[in-house]
């Protein structure tokens, strides 16, 4: 079921779309689209699954970044769409926009500030995967086999760095510790499986590496504010952040 997206505009140069259920999305990401002129909200771009969708004109891009050298390179290139895959940042910015109580000029300044915050993340991480090779390798290992999770010591050896370096690099890359990311990933995947209505709750708990169904149920309920059984019956979670 497609979730409702709320739109916020700043003049004729910026439009921001935020999915209402962003707080319950396991790994929300953002998209930034550059245009000569802004498209309509119901254009094809609005059908993206991005939790946070930003449309802006190239003139607005120049204005917000104040003609810093890196933006000239982006504007003269062929790319007009950019992804931001930092779930912690994207979720926080999206919720702040949804809950903003600013009006008029204050609202415009606030929304522009949120867009600039996304720009900072985008421009600061042009080669994130290259800079955080060990962190990305560790994440692939963790997501590959939830039933046989390595210890931190073993994971560090597998990616060829010390535990301390892996912990610091992982937090820089994903905004969470390894254990926190793993817990979030398990529950996000659990939400997908619960609402898919294909597996029993016990099978889901086992597939995600939980020793007991009760442990999965408790963690799921704490994360989403609703039990897995009720989530399956409702299908759509309306979670309070």
Mutual angle of helices 163-174 and 178-196, in 10-degree steps: 50
The number of helix segments (H) and strand segments (E) in the chain equals 12, 5
What pLDDT shows up at residue 69?
47
Asked if 53 and 137 sit in the same domain, the reply is: no
Query: How far is 50 from 145, CA to CA, in rounded Å?
Result: 26
| 240 pLDDT higher than 70 | no
| 10 pLDDT higher than 50 | yes
Asked if 34 and 108 sit in the same domain, the reply is: yes
Residue range 91-144, pLDDT digits in tens? 888 988 888 877 777 888 888 888 888 877 776 554 555 567 888 888 888 877
Residue range 46-96, pLDDT digits in tens? 567 888 999 988 888 777 765 554 444 455 555 577 878 778 788 888 988
CB 15 within 8 A of CB 38: yes
Asked if 37 and 69 sit in the same domain, the reply is: yes
CB 220 within 8 A of CB 232: no
Asked if 29 and 89 sit in the same domain, the reply is: yes
What pLDDT shows up at residue 163?
94
Asked if 235 and 185 sit in the same domain, the reply is: yes
Q: What is the dihedral of CA 84, 53, 20, 200, to 10 degrees?
A: -50
Asked if 42 and 148 sit in the same domain, the reply is: no
In 3-state terms the chain splits into helix, strand, coil percentages (rounded to 5) of 55, 10, 30
* 239/122: higher pLDDT: 122
What pLDDT shows up at residue 74?
52
Query: How far is 91 from 28, CA to CA, in rounded Å?
Result: 6
What pLDDT shows up at residue 129?
53
Asked if 40 and 17 sit in the same domain, the reply is: yes
**C-alpha to C-alpha distances, 166 to 77, 87, 130, 144, nearest whole angstrom:** 34, 19, 14, 18
Asked if 59 and 133 sit in the same domain, the reply is: no
Residue 95 neighbours by CB under 8 Å, 6+ apart: 22, 23, 241
- The model carries a pTM of 0.50
Asked if 165 and 200 sit in the same domain, the reply is: no
Asked if 71 and 106 sit in the same domain, the reply is: yes
What average pLDDT does the chain have?
79
CB 10 within 8 A of CB 23: no
Domain carrying residue 149:
129-174
The secondary element (H helix, E strand) that includes residue 30 is strand 30-35
Q: The domain that contains 196 carries what CATH number?
A: 1.10.10.60
Asked if 24 and 122 sit in the same domain, the reply is: yes
Residue-by-residue DSSP string for 75-134: HHSS--EEEE--HHHHHHHHHHHHH----HHHHHHHHHHHHHHHHHHHHH-TTHHHHTHH
Residue range 185-230, pLDDT digits in tens? 888 888 878 877 678 999 999 988 888 999 999 998 988 888 888 8
* 42/230: higher pLDDT: 230
pLDDT interval class at 234 (50, 70, 90): low
Asked if 180 and 192 sit in the same domain, the reply is: yes
pLDDT interval class at 236 (50, 70, 90): very low
In total, how many domains does the chain have?
3
């Amino acid at each position: 079921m497609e979730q409702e997206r709320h739109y916020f505009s700043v003049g004729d140069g910026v439009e921001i779309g935020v999915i209402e259920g962003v707080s319950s999305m396991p790994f929300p990401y953002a998209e930034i689209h550059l245009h000569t002129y802004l498209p309509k909200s119901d254009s094809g771009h609005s059908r993206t699954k991005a939790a946070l969708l930003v449309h802006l004109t190239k003139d607005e891009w120049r204005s917000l970044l104040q003609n810093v050298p890196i933006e000239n390179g982006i504007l003269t290139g062929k790319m007009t769409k950019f992804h931001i895959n930092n779930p912690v940042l994207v979720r926080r910015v999206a919720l702040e926009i949804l809950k903003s109580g600013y009006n008029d000029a204050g609202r415009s300044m606030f929304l522009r500030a949120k867009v600039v915050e996304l720009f900072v993340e985008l421009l600061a991480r042009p080669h994130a995967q290259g800079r955080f090779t060990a962190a990305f390798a560790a994440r692939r290992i963790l997501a590959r086999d939830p039933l046989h999770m390595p210890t931190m010591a073993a994971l560090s050896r597998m990616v060829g760095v010390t535990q301390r370096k892996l912990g610091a690099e992982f937090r820089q890359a994903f905004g969470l510790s390894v254990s926190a990311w793993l817990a979030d990933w398990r529950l996000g995947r659990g939400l997908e499986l619960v609402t898919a209505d294909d597996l029993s709750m016990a099978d889901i708990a086992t597939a995600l590496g939980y020793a007991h169904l009760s442990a999965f149920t408790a963690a799921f309920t704490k994360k989403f504010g609703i039990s897995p059984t009720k989530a399956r019956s409702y299908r759509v979670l309306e979670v309070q952040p």
